Amino acid sequence: MKVFVYHTPEEVPEGNLPDCAIAIDVLRATSTMAAAFNVGAESIHVFSDLDELRTKSDACPADKRLLAGERGGAKVEGFDLGNSPLDHTQERSHGRHLFMSTTNGTRCLQRIQQAPVVITAALTTRQAVVNFVLQQNPAEVWLVGSGWQGDYSLEDTVCAGAIVHQLAAQLGSDLKTLAGNDSAIAAVSLYEQWQDSLLELLQCASHGQRLLGLHQEEDLKYCAQLDVLDLVPIQSEPGTL
Ligand code: 3SL
């Protein structure tokens, strides 16, 4: 197995695909997707265009759907939910089909959606993702951070590093053998530096700062938790988990 880390969707090489592609948006899209499935959401349909989302969601009965969307960190007007993992409770999300649009997480997922296996990862699901990858044993894995408008995000790269670190430990492999590119080794170094203070790292990160400015302290605390959810969101068809 070779594991490649790409800090942003823009870094992903054109023209080839891995056996397994993993989208990461710790703050907050992939943390929120895992939180929704954890309370029994039926499916998540991901859109970049809000009008397309509204049109497609019309085909789903109103009591079975939830419209969830964020622009600039804030809820889209007229939608049921924004992009907070804490929005998802049993009462609200169980049995519902989510129609979701976020700025960077959506773009990341769409960039890799043609790979044969596509999953999402967050710090909350790190161990479940590692177990899934070990069970599938793909020859080539890509971990792709969503970043922020084309820029590197600390929180996505530290999550990629946490996954590579754990894969290496469980495979009994050294990084030289497992890492497909230098970014994978750098991501592990970032994780090893911050593994005991992930919340502090999220609070230092530029998007963490942005969310703190929007009074989302509890979201940062939630998203900084490691290995608390035993599930892996898997793409069933492009754009749907
Ligand atoms: O950009 C995204 O995809 C979002 O996760 C950003 S936010 O955390 O909802 O602001």
Place of tokens 């050294």: 174
Instruction: Note the CATH number of domain 2-223.
Output: 3.90.1560.10
pLDDT tens track for 126-178: 999 999 999 999 999 999 999 998 899 999 999 999 999 999 999 999 999 99
Does the Cβ of 57 fall within 6 Å of ligand 1?
A: no
Q: Across the chain, what does the average pLDDT equal?
A: 96
Pocket test for ligand 1, best of 102, 110, 209 (most atoms within 8 A of CB): 102
Sorted by where each begins, the domain ranges of the chain are 2-223
Complex ipTM over 0.85: yes
User: d(Cα 175, Cα 48) in Å, to the nearest integer?
Assistant: 36
What DSSP assignment string belongs to 59-105?
Answer: TS-GGGEEEEEEETTEEPTT-SB-S-GGG--HHHHTTPEEEEE-SHH
User: Is the CB–ligand 1 distance for residue 28 below 6 Å?
Assistant: yes
The tens digit of pLDDT for each residue in 50-95 reads 999 999 999 999 999 999 998 887 899 999 999 999 999 999 999 9
Nearest atom in ligand 1 to 216's CA: 8
Under a CB-based contact definition with an 8 Å cutoff, are residues 149 and 103 in contact? yes
The region that residue 181 occupies, defined by phi over 0 for left and psi between -120 and 50 for alpha, beta otherwise, is beta
Question: Residue 203: CB partners within 8 Å, gap ≥ 6?
Answer: 209, 212, 220
Whole-structure pTM value: 0.95
